[in-house]
Structure 1
């Protein structure tokens, strides 16, 4: 028998007001039996001949397939989820629901789904849509808040929060994901709505250090886990950092026990499993349900894998709604509905919005009581305990006019490029057979262009890069430091220019994308000071005032502001033929003035590596044999261990070295924030 119980409850209704629905199987038929809180017993009615256990399983598979492709529900599929919505909420049950909505005085009503059977747990009930409506899904409804109820002997109560909501992030295998999450939450962190506790990643996310951290202060209000989930012999497991080269998987039940023992009476109220299929049920229980039983009052997890940028988009909207300072309570169900609504709106109705689901222990979705809360911005980075002081070399550079050369290291490390690599690898394998897995992306793209075609390569690039809001948080901080002059980016997305436009609306901004051909027909776009609109210029400006205006050179093409696409430099031939001197790439009117600025100002180089041949080519074409101006500084990824190469000038124009600083993104962000705070002081 299938059993589905639905409780409808809200603070304005007495705790005894609920509606329980059993969906049971009678032969091949699913029937609905209901019991109301005042012993209402509407007659049993069938869901319909077409709604069988097998058809539910098939319907779930079709919604999942749409989500995997990032597409909205096709018309036939939309009709099916509307039909199921109508089959559940009809007759007397619909009447009870209408009275509950009336009693809620216009507020949303909690829809609590008690899912006991594996097939029912794996079904995306959040995708049910009100008949006759295109976007009135349960998952984004303004009047119904669907959650998956959990039976537990543990008590429930909201947590009074007097200041910031503290968040502990755990990323055993993907440390870059933490930087992306931190950047996504930058607004909430800066306002003091969320406090970012020291995260656990790498060796600190192995089993022993993890359990040791779970015994210590400070205790978080929220744990956010980014990684992999799975099932081992039917038990949900999470993957931790590898132990001596071997995969390490932790049974979720052990984690739940440790959290209950250590922080069971503490502030922890929510766990977010940003892991593939964290809510996928096994023969015993899903990871989310196990954690909600004993470890936290609420757990957000994903039914199916989603793209990284979609997960980040969802996290941003969810945390912003849950923790914003203007409200008196943190409603987790309302916040997740807002996040799903954001994904549906921004991604043209993508079914990925139905992957995140909420498991709730009690019948109240309000996790945090903010009535006595006072939100204050965090203290200046310069005063934080344990923060190293900013480098005087960097401070000296930032005190004068300088030019930024921004590399593409973040693209190389982002899921965007990994997705593109996987697509090219897969199609080449189908076309030609076995393809070596370790080819550099430029080589892989060259093979793809030669064997399948440049147009198809352009399509794959646009399909991946055209649907992301990827923005490294460091780029925004760098943009705040920039002034009038010339700056260079080799990112294929218009991140630097967008960040500058956001940080300096008072400056006129030109974006120049040189032609990769010898015709010097550069694409030039302008955003006038005080305006938001970008316009494409049909004629080359007679002059550029680099003392009062900003010029951004895009040397690897890709996407311009306002989502204008041009073929990017991505294959080996693109780099060999497309990276040439500025004089051969730009109109005569622009080349001299731009080169003059670059030769007279020190350069800040970020995101580049001398171990990358295309980066070396870029620097030679920009500066020829002329050494970089005295005072130039290179910020290096410590993992590359190439500081000595830069300081001795090996491979640099003029064979003259520059000052080099090893710094992680987090350290550089702290330096920039501290220097900015010092100037304001």
Structure 2
């Protein structure tokens, strides 16, 4: 229906546009987005045919009349979707025929939104100063820091007021709901974390409560937003994988739009950190700044998609963010009476001079030889694991609804392997994890500081190995990946990066000796993608962890003896590890046996994580002897590592 009550006759899509064709296109586009790849010629042709099938006949006539009446202003196109498959389809990726980049999602003429029917009233919120943004990040402080950096220009200009974020234990359900009842009330809530459909209900994951996962149903959160924000809240941004995925009734985004906020930006698929950062920067700058279309959420999101397409070679990730809108108007904020006041200069970023002093325990460990144990509960891999979990859960619910556990990922993967098959499990893993491993500022700082010795990585992408090769290219580096049970291999895979070399090369002949006191030895115990981007089946299921990695028996003596000797001689620095995760506990026992971890070992935890007392008491650790635990953000830990390196430099 047009703005003058034009009602074009309904029409079906062409016979070629079947539900299977739409579903396959959505699947292919998601896979392209996970690889950060463009649509490709075949998908582009499909996209153009879908566009032509939709905009034809009387509908096309009304569209052109409305564009003419708009006098050059962009026209809002509302998709009122009820079917779950249609909600999951990327309508924003439809491309105008005879164009290569004329997608709805980046069009300067049409603004696609997903309409939501609601009885709640709506009008633009008058904002006389800065737009207040409240960030909520239960587990991803690295992503929170990136968001703060992306908004820094707008914050410094007085266009955005950055409210104190909610992180760690402050994002437990009771604490979050209490904050939403308190001043200052945000205009925008930006959630960074995990979303999913649990027992048919769209939910968001909050900070774990003791050793239990904690989730809040989107409908309950919407009710609290309606009760607590008293009409001030206008927008929710769900930077969560599959926040737009429909449940039995609706998606989290639709529920929050219907009852909680006027608009919700959510994602169909996961996107890389640098894409999310650029998208946020462009979106908020356009929405809250002094552009001609400021306050217009649909225009701002189209601008953000256009920037992503331009900056990332047409990556399909641009079509992951979608907009749900309650009203027929996408203007969220009225800035007519606005007076922007530039705030006092924000505190300087964390530097060696402004950071709190390096903890004595960490200083002592860094001053000696030590082994790094880098777990997979990590800001660079955690979001990928959660996306992987969501893919498995969705397919398992469809194929075996009575066997879709809500517990650990290893349990979910085990059920998936039993009911659907290990080959399919392998394929789903590749869809999420393939692609170049990104650089991590903290891992770079660790690699610069790491001494020769034995270092463990449980990450399934070669982030640590690549960083070591960049910073220690003049020394010999060895990568050892033990064979997996049932693989038919009886010896470990060994790669070597020789001093002065340009790449990792396989070691074909058996090693005669290895010296961890002189060389770097990296054990890739969970397998996955190698530095050469070659793939090896990773440990994922309960059976994998139960039957896998026994260093003493699977490594030949020439490797096992010096490796185990080094591990038991030098203290360990543990990051991204959790004693609430059973395969992490098992791995520590496989590495250290029943002996306590070496004296001086240390674990670093994120602020507010509830595990400190468990590590210190030794419950769940080999030998039942505790180790020291410190809390730090990734940025702070990076500064400490660099500061210690400078102090020790000659």
TM-score range with shorter-chain normalisation?
Answer: 0.5 to 0.7
Structure 1 residues 455 and 523: alpha-carbon distance in aligned structure 2, compared to 1, 3 A threshold: farther
Query: Retained in 1: the 8 A contact 2:410–2:541?
Result: yes
CA distance in 1, matches of 2:429, 2:319: 23
Which residue of 2 is the match for residue 211 of structure 1?
181
CA distance in 2, matches of 1:528, 1:137: 49
Does 2:587 correspond to 1:618?
A: yes
Which residue of 2 is the match for residue 604 of structure 1?
573
Which residue of 2 is the match for residue 392 of structure 1?
360
Query: Retained in 2: the 8 A contact 1:190–1:378?
Result: no
Which residue of 2 is the match for residue 522 of structure 1?
493
Query: Retained in 2: the 8 A contact 1:380–1:673?
Result: no
CA distance in 1, matches of 2:399, 2:114: 46
Give CA deviations for 1:321-380 in whole Å, capped at 9, x if unaligned.
Answer: 34689x986776456544476489979865881651276744999999999799867443
Larger RCO, structures 1/2 (Cα 8 Å, 6+ apart): 2
Which residue of 2 is the match for residue 321 of structure 1?
282
Which residue of 1 is the match for residue 92 of structure 2?
126
CA distance in 1, matches of 2:73, 2:237: 20
Structure 1 residues 70 and 512: alpha-carbon distance in aligned structure 2, compared to 1, 3 A threshold: same
Which residue of 2 is the match for residue 643 of structure 1?
615
Give CA deviations for 1:12-57 in whole Å, capped at 9, x if unaligned.
Answer: xxxxxxxxx975324x46xxxxxxxxxxxxxxxxxxx8589xx999
Which residue of 1 is the match for residue 136 of structure 2?
170
Which residue of 1 is the match for residue 550 of structure 2?
580
CA distance in 2, matches of 1:229, 1:624: 37
User: Which region of structure 1 is more displaced relative to structure 2, 442-451 or 244-253?
Assistant: 244-253
Deviation, structure 1 residue 272 = 1.9
Which residue of 2 is the match for residue 113 of structure 1?
76
Give CA deviations for 1:178-202 in whole Å, capped at 9, x if unaligned.
Answer: 4463265375489997957221621
Give CA deviations for 1:630-664 in whole Å, capped at 9, x if unaligned.
Answer: 322234663485235528xx752xx483523164x
Does 2:164 correspond to 1:197?
A: yes
CA distance in 2, matches of 1:456, 1:167: 41
TM-score normalized with structure 1 length: 0.64
Query: Retained in 1: the 8 A contact 2:268–2:320?
Result: no
Query: Retained in 2: the 8 A contact 1:205–1:240?
Result: no
Task: Report the 3-state secondary structure (helix = DSSP H, G, I; strand = E; otherwise coil) of the residue aligned with 1:185.
Answer: helix
CA distance in 2, matches of 1:573, 1:253: 42
Task: Report the 3-state secondary structure (helix = DSSP H, G, I; strand = E; otherwise coil) of the residue aligned with 1:310.
Answer: coil
Structure 1 residues 144 and 563: alpha-carbon distance in aligned structure 2, compared to 1, 3 A threshold: farther
Deviation, structure 1 residue 80 = 2.1
Which residue of 1 is the match for residue 458 of structure 2?
490
TM-score normalized with structure 2 length: 0.66
Alignment RMSD: 6.0
Structure 1 residues 556 and 50: alpha-carbon distance in aligned structure 2, compared to 1, 3 A threshold: closer
Does 2:386 correspond to 1:415?
A: yes
Give CA deviations for 1:262-299 in whole Å, capped at 9, x if unaligned.
Answer: xx6xxx886424573499999xx985488776xxxxx4
Query: Retained in 2: the 8 A contact 1:112–1:148?
Result: no
Residue ranges of structure 2 left out of the alignment (5+ in a row):
34-38, 116-120
Structure 1 residues 401 and 354: alpha-carbon distance in aligned structure 2, compared to 1, 3 A threshold: closer
Task: Report the 3-state secondary structure (helix = DSSP H, G, I; strand = E; otherwise coil) of the residue aligned with 1:408.
Answer: coil
Query: Retained in 1: the 8 A contact 2:203–2:217?
Result: no
Q: 101, 104, 107: which is aligned to 1:138? A: 104
Query: Retained in 2: the 8 A contact 1:129–1:138?
Result: yes
Query: Retained in 2: the 8 A contact 1:344–1:353?
Result: no
Which residue of 2 is the match for residue 301 of structure 1?
265
Which residue of 2 is the match for residue 41 of structure 1?
none
Higher strand proportion, which one?
1
Query: Retained in 1: the 8 A contact 2:218–2:255?
Result: no
Which residue of 2 is the match for residue 403 of structure 1?
371
Task: Report the 3-state secondary structure (helix = DSSP H, G, I; strand = E; otherwise coil) of the residue aligned with 2:454.
Answer: strand
Which residue of 1 is the match for residue 36 of structure 2?
none
Q: 120, 143, 149: which is aligned to 1:181? A: 143
Which residue of 2 is the match for residue 17 of structure 1?
none
How many pairs align?
Answer: 585
Which residue of 2 is the match for residue 559 of structure 1?
529
Does 2:429 correspond to 1:429?
A: no
Task: Report the 3-state secondary structure (helix = DSSP H, G, I; strand = E; otherwise coil) of the residue aligned with 2:479.
Answer: strand
Deviation, structure 1 residue 554 = 0.5
Does 2:49 correspond to 1:79?
A: yes
Which residue of 2 is the match for residue 458 of structure 1?
426
Query: Retained in 2: the 8 A contact 1:416–1:464?
Result: yes
Give CA deviations for 1:397-445 in whole Å, capped at 9, x if unaligned.
Answer: 1233422112334568941452365268448738xxx448367655665
Deviation, structure 1 residue 565 = 1.0
Deviation, structure 1 residue 604 = 1.0
Query: Retained in 1: the 8 A contact 2:204–2:215?
Result: no
Residue ranges of structure 1 left out of the alignment (5+ in a row):
6-20, 30-48, 104-108, 231-236, 294-298
Structure 1 residues 390 and 520: alpha-carbon distance in aligned structure 2, compared to 1, 3 A threshold: same
Query: Retained in 2: the 8 A contact 1:300–1:357?
Result: yes
Query: Retained in 1: the 8 A contact 2:223–2:259?
Result: yes
Give CA deviations for 1:288-312 in whole Å, capped at 9, x if unaligned.
Answer: 488776xxxxx4523xx624x3386
Deviation, structure 1 residue 113 = 0.6
Deviation, structure 1 residue 512 = 1.3
Deviation, structure 1 residue 137 = 0.7
Deviation, structure 1 residue 566 = 0.2
Structure 1 residues 398 and 86: alpha-carbon distance in aligned structure 2, compared to 1, 3 A threshold: farther
In the TM superposition, 1:328-477 aligns within 5 A as 333=299, 336-339=302-305, 342=308, 350=316, 353=319, 355-357=321-323, 361-362=330-331, 378-380=348-350, 391-410=359-378, 414-419=385-390, 421-422=392-393, 425-426=396-397, 429=400, 434-435=402-403, 437=405, 442=410, 445=413, 454-466=422-434
Query: Retained in 1: the 8 A contact 2:173–2:216?
Result: no
Structure 1 residues 204 and 582: alpha-carbon distance in aligned structure 2, compared to 1, 3 A threshold: same
Query: Retained in 2: the 8 A contact 1:408–1:490?
Result: yes
Task: Report the 3-state secondary structure (helix = DSSP H, G, I; strand = E; otherwise coil) of the residue aligned with 1:129.
Answer: coil
